[in-house]
Structure formats: C-alpha cells, structure tokens
Amino acid sequence: MNFFASHVLHCTPLSPIHIGCGDDYLPTEYVQDGDWLLAFDPTRLALAGQERAELVGLLTDGNAAGIPAKLRGFYAHRVEAVRAIARGRVRLLAQLGNQAEIARTAFAAIDHAAYLPGSSLKGAVRTAIVDDLVHDGRTIPRFRFADEMEELVIGGKFATSFLHLLRFSDSTGAAATQVCAQVNRYKKSNKPPKAHLESLVEVVAPMQSAAWRATVERWDNPAALGCRFDDRKMPNFDAPTPTQLAQAVNRFSRREFLRETEEPNIRGAVARPWLMAMRQILTAVDVANPRAFVVRVGKHCGAECLTVEGLRQIRMVGRDRPPEPEAHTVWLAANAKGQQTDLLPFGWLLCEFGAPDPGLGAIVADCAAALAPPPAAQSVAAPPPAPALSAVDAMAMPATNLGRSLYNLATELRAFAASGRRLRDRDNAFASIDSRLGNGMRGDPTEVAYAVWVARTFGQPAVHDVVWQGWCKKYPRLAESPNS
C-alpha cells in the first residue's frame, strides 16, 4: 500500500527573487570585474612579499575607520589574482557606487548556489489555499490573531491541519543570480520615491526556464486508511491534489497580480514586455497545464500576498495608526537607484508539476530575450592616462561653474598631495565630484581634464580605475573627449 505520492515540481523564476538569509557580500570579500562581482575568500589570496608589506602598511597606518575602503582598493588592484580563487560570479546590473554591503539571497553552503527553501514555497501556497477556502462562500468572523482564523478554516492546528500532509522540499538547481537595486514606489500617491531606502541586493535572475527542481510529497490521511490514532492529532480533511492546489493558488495569484499592476503608478513603472508575458502565463496555466501555478515568494512580495483578502490588517512601519487593509507602497527591482521605468516586481515564480510545458517555456524565453541586459564586460578596461600636473597647472580657470568647481577641488587635492598628508575623507571627495558631474557634465575639454586628473592622481590608482569606469558609463562624453 502506498501512503504517499511524490511529485516533481519544476520552478521558473518569473521576476527577481530575493530570499533573505542574513548574509551579505562584504566590501573586503568581493571585487568588481567589469560588469561582474567576484566573491572570494581573502585568506586564499596569494601575496608576494612586497604586496604583503603593502597590506600590512594599510592596516597599521592608524586610520581604523578607513580600513574597509583601503582593503577594497587593495583587492581591486588584483582582479586577475582574485579571478583564480573566486568562489562565485554575480552579474552587476546596478553600479556599486558607495554602497559597501550587498544582501545575499539564500544559498547552499556547499556550492554557494542560490536555492528556494521549501518553507518559503509552502508558506506562499498555504496563504493562497487559506484565502481560497475563506472565499468559498462561508462566512468567516474577524479574528484578532491569524492562527485562530486558520484553525477554523483548515481544520485545526499543525498536527490536525490537512496541510500537514503536504511536504515541500527545497528547490535547487543552477539558477543564476544578479545584483540589482531595490526601489520603493507609492501605489496611488504622487509623492516622490523614498530614495533613502533604495539599496542593492542579490536576486535570482528572472525568466530562467525550469531553473529549480523540487519534490512535493502528498501523504494520505491516516484517518482514511483506518489507522487508529488519537482523533485530536489527525487531519480532518485530505490534502489537495496537485490540480486542486494549482487551481486554488492561481485564483489567489491572478487576483493579487491584477490588483497591484492595475495601479496607474505601478503599471507605468513596470516593464511592458514583462507585464504582457505575465498575463499570457496566468491565462495559459489554466489551459496549457492545469497542474501549473504561479505564486509569489520571498522578500518584497507585498503584504497583500501574505494575507487573506477581507481580513487584512497591515501595519504601516513607523506610523502610530490602526492597521489598514492595503499597503501604500510597493518594492520594485531596478537596474539603478532612482530608475523610474522598466522596473520589475519581486517574487513571482512559475511552478509546474511534471515535465515543463513547451508553450509556457516559449513565453518565458521570449520575455527573457526582451528583458536581456546588454552583454557584460568581462573586465575593467584600462582608463586613459591622466594629464600631467604641469598641463593642469597651465590651464586657465574654466569658464563654467562645473569646471571651476572641479578646478577648486583639484587644487585642494594637490595641496594634500604636496604636504604628504592622506585624505581621510577620500570617498566623500569622489562622491562630491560625482555629484558635480551629474549636475552639469557637458564634455567641456577643461572640465574633462580636471575630472580625469582628480580621478587618476590622488591615492591608489586601482581605486580610481574603477571610479573612472563608473563615471564613463554614467557620463559617456567623458570617454569620448580627446582630452580624456
């Protein structure tokens, strides 16, 4: 006699997915290699005697607060050596800028591959099933605690719930990850976005067909098998079949997808090819493969996808006010902080019992092609040489405000260099230049010359190679100028 049935589940990330694990990419444990982030163990980096002495000097110069920045520059100058020992490579969609730590998505300890915990998937499925049962025509009173409502709907607590008969394994595979920006947008209000909340996170890249594989076990109800146990510890209902589970989850997901994407502010911000693909997939799962379902998992999947419609009590962070039935903002994935369009929601996942459906795979492939970023650079190209100090000194005072600002900053840095002192606030100096470039870079030869000199003359060249490359990407006229 079979007491349970095991079903293979193929999972396709449809949008960026971040599963919090409490671990970060630290600035002293990664380097930027063109459009890639290389993670490595610093203790495995082989150093020659002179390099070792240089590292010791950086750590013992008395400026403890600047050690992370100095180590970052030290390792950035040794990209070739880091490549040989890198334990992982992640695509960078967003520029690192001044952000040091990057939150990692959940990963396996052995091979550092991204995975989806079975508890995350089952929790999302559980919410959808409870919501479906609540809206099957019965009247559910309002409860103070969610577990009281769930006990009434699903027939008891953990031991007696029919969901106890469903067991989800972790979803594992070769899912690629990338670093993107998480941005916060209001659903209805025209208030400016919360820029101070925007940061970089590692996510599982979207539209990877059948990137993960899991197993779902559906156990038979012991009561139906005639087993004699204490009735209080036995489920009152049978577990849903794969088809019943898929139908219940799809009803919930379709409603919440339309609720969020029909908001004018959100619809205009989300990438159009992704919206069209999601609508096709949500329509096809009921026709092409009734054992397939779309669910939302992980961080930033929205308070509505974690709660039951009609019974929601969403607390607003930092507000001393009663809970509300709807969240005011939504988190979206972007290629850069401050990006306003072509954003993607977090957390959407396609799951298929059995073999993946070719029709759904074709929709995923077409959307992946439409969303594909430009080819990644394999390494940081060598920056152009900096103008000689004599050439900079011989230049006349620039005519533009930006040029004068850069001139003054260059003069200030020259004074530091001449005195032999270190500029402790070096990172802020570069941030200041970055801000000034962003406020008015026109490609004037004098402006470009001073920007290049500042980037290449003061401090460790390796740090400024990376800084210079970042500026060239943001302000293309810098790289085009013959004076660069």
Residue 338 lies in a domain: yes
Detail the DSSP E strand segments found in 205-320: 212-219, 292-296
- Which residue in 246, 467, 222, 235 sits closest to 354, CA to CA? 246
Residue keyed to tokens 């992370």? 68
CB atoms within 10 A of CB 361: 16
Mind listing the pLDDT tens digit of every residue in the chain (484 residues)?
A: 467 789 999 999 999 999 999 999 988 899 988 889 999 999 888 888 888 888 888 888 777 777 888 888 888 888 888 988 888 889 988 877 766 789 999 999 888 899 999 999 999 998 888 888 877 755 555 555 566 666 667 666 666 677 888 899 999 998 999 999 999 888 877 776 666 678 899 999 999 999 999 999 988 766 555 555 555 565 566 788 899 999 999 999 999 999 888 888 888 889 999 999 999 999 998 776 788 999 999 998 887 787 777 666 666 666 667 777 677 788 999 988 778 889 999 999 999 999 999 999 999 999 999 888 766 554 444 444 444 444 444 444 445 555 555 556 555 555 555 544 444 444 555 555 555 555 554 445 555 555 555 555 544 444 445 555 666 666 665 555 434 3
Q: Are residues 84 and 10 in the same domain?
A: no
Structural domains of the chain, count: 3
Residue 364, CA distances (Å) to 212, 237, 358 in order: 14, 36, 10
Q: Are residues 218 and 241 in the same domain?
A: yes
Backbone φ and ψ for 466, nearest 5 degrees, come out as: -65, -45
Q: Are residues 118 and 205 in the same domain?
A: yes
Q: Are residues 298 and 402 in the same domain?
A: no
Token digits of residue 403: 């040029």
Q: Are residues 77 and 152 in the same domain?
A: no
One DSSP character per residue, 358-390 reads HHHHHHHHHHHHHHPPPPPPSSPPPPPPPPPHH
Token digits of residue 364: 């995923």
Question: Which H/E stretch holds residue 348?
Answer: strand 348-353
Question: Which of 371, 401, 436 corresponds to the end of one domain?
Answer: 371
Q: Are residues 119 and 68 in the same domain?
A: no
**Residue 105 bridge partners (DSSP):** 20
On the 0-12 / 13-18 / 19+ scale of CB atoms within 10 A, 335 is middle
Q: Would you state the pLDDT for residue 458?
A: 46
CA 201 to chain CA centroid, nearest Å: 4
Q: 330 lies in which domain range?
A: 4-16+113-371
CB atoms within 10 A of CB 396: 8
Q: Would you state the pLDDT for residue 451?
A: 58
- Which residue in 195, 208, 200 sits closest to 113, CA to CA? 208
Residue 190 lies in a domain: yes
Helix axes 49-59, 67-76, angle to 10 degrees: 160
Q: Are residues 84 and 153 in the same domain?
A: no
pTM (global) more than 0.75? no
Helix axes 445-457, 401-419, angle to 10 degrees: 30
CA angle (91, 96, 97) in 5-degree steps: 160
Q: Are residues 38 and 120 in the same domain?
A: no
Between CA 404 and CA 398 the distance in angstroms is 5
On the 0-12 / 13-18 / 19+ scale of CB atoms within 10 A, 33 is buried
Between CA 257 and CA 295 the distance in angstroms is 10
Q: Are residues 367 and 474 in the same domain?
A: no
Q: Are residues 432 and 460 in the same domain?
A: yes
Between CA 296 and CA 11 the distance in angstroms is 12
Q: Are residues 193 and 47 in the same domain?
A: no
**Alpha-carbon torsion 6, 10, 16, 18, what sign?**
positive
Between CA 222 and CA 232 the distance in angstroms is 12
- Which residue in 49, 48, 46, 73 sits closest to 59, CA to CA? 73
DSSP 192: P
